[in-house]
């Protein structure tokens, strides 16, 4: 993969199986975000390919997208919509969901009191939790998370780690990039170093 003039990502090969957490580690600038975007299908790889259930995602784009949830650096929230509305619209485009389901997830993430507040007045940590609610509600089997713990306090980090643990325990997969060491209850993440 090339980004402009820089040759980022050379000979990278990753396999992920159900129930696994893969931790992509490495210093800044080594291409962690690029790699995750390639895995999510947002960037095409110049050589090689990304496969899902044995087939390249290029040809199975819609099926792959239906089973994958991506969390990038941005929270993907509209500042002028309330927390509830944000989830209602962004999830609604993918699958049916009703009010109580959204409320339950907001509660689980500890932001139920932000339900009817526009996203722009929430703190950075609350917005990250709202973004994570979206990931949870999508009902995808593969989670691709880029620096999910940004802006979170200690309780938040523990909460998110727990959610990831529950997800893979139920047969899901998670690939994430994180600076700090990862502590997921119930499983040991496999580490992939980029340099």
Q: Which stretches of the chain bind another protein, using CB under 8 A?
A: 2-5, 40-44, 62, 65-66, 68, 70, 72-81, 85, 89-90, 92-96, 139
Q: In the bound complex, what is the minimum distance in angstroms from residue 98's beta carbon to another protein? A: 12
Between 72 and 165, whose beta carbon lies closer to another protein? 72
Q: In the bound complex, what is the minimum distance in angstroms from residue 185's beta carbon to another protein? A: 26
Token couple for 110: 């500890």
Q: In the bound complex, what is the minimum distance in angstroms from residue 79's beta carbon to another protein? A: 7
Provide the CA 70 distance to its chain's centre, in angstroms: 4
3-state SS assignment for residue 55:
strand
Q: In the bound complex, what is the minimum distance in angstroms from residue 94's beta carbon to another protein? A: 5
Whole-angstrom Cα distance, residue 43 to residue 38? 5
Only one residue has tokens 């962690």, namely 32
Between 39 and 106, whose beta carbon lies closer to another protein? 39
Evaluate whether 128 touches 150 at the Cβ level (below 8 Å). yes
Between 28 and 96, whose beta carbon lies closer to another protein? 96
Q: In the bound complex, what is the minimum distance in angstroms from residue 37's beta carbon to another protein? A: 9
Between 45 and 159, whose beta carbon lies closer to another protein? 45
Between 88 and 108, whose beta carbon lies closer to another protein? 88
CA distances from 38 to 19, 42, 121, 146 (A): 21, 6, 32, 12
Between 140 and 182, whose beta carbon lies closer to another protein? 140
Q: In the bound complex, what is the minimum distance in angstroms from residue 39's beta carbon to another protein? A: 12
Residue 108's CB: how many other CB atoms inside 10 A?
Answer: 15
Nearest to 117, CA basis, from 71, 80, 69: 80
Whole-angstrom Cα distance, residue 22 to residue 173? 8
Contacts 24+ apart (CB under 8 A), 152-155: 152/125, 152/128, 153/125
């Amino acid at each position: 993969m090339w980004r402009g003039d820089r040759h980022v990502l050379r000979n990278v090969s990753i396999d992920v199986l159900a129930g696994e957490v893969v931790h992509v580690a490495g210093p800044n600038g080594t291409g962690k975000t690029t790699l995750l975007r390639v895995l999510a299908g947002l960037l095409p790889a110049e050589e090689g390919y990304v496969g899902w259930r044995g087939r390249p995602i290029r040809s199975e784009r819609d099926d792959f997208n239906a089973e994958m949830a991506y969390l990038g650096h941005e929270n993907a929230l509209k500042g002028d919509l309330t927390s509830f509305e944000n989830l209602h619209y962004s999830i609604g485009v993918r699958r049916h969901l009703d009010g109580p389901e959204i409320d339950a997830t907001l509660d689980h993430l500890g932001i139920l009191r932000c339900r009817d507040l526009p996203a722009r007045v929430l703190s950075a940590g609350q917005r990250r939790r709202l973004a994570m609610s979206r990931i949870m509600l999508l009902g995808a089997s593969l989670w691709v998370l880029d620096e999910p713990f940004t802006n979170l306090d200690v309780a938040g980090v523990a909460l998110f780690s727990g959610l990831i643990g529950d997800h893979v325990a139920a047969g899901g997969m998670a690939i994430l990039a994180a600076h700090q060491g990862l502590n997921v209850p119930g499983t040991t993440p496999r580490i992939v170093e980029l340099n």
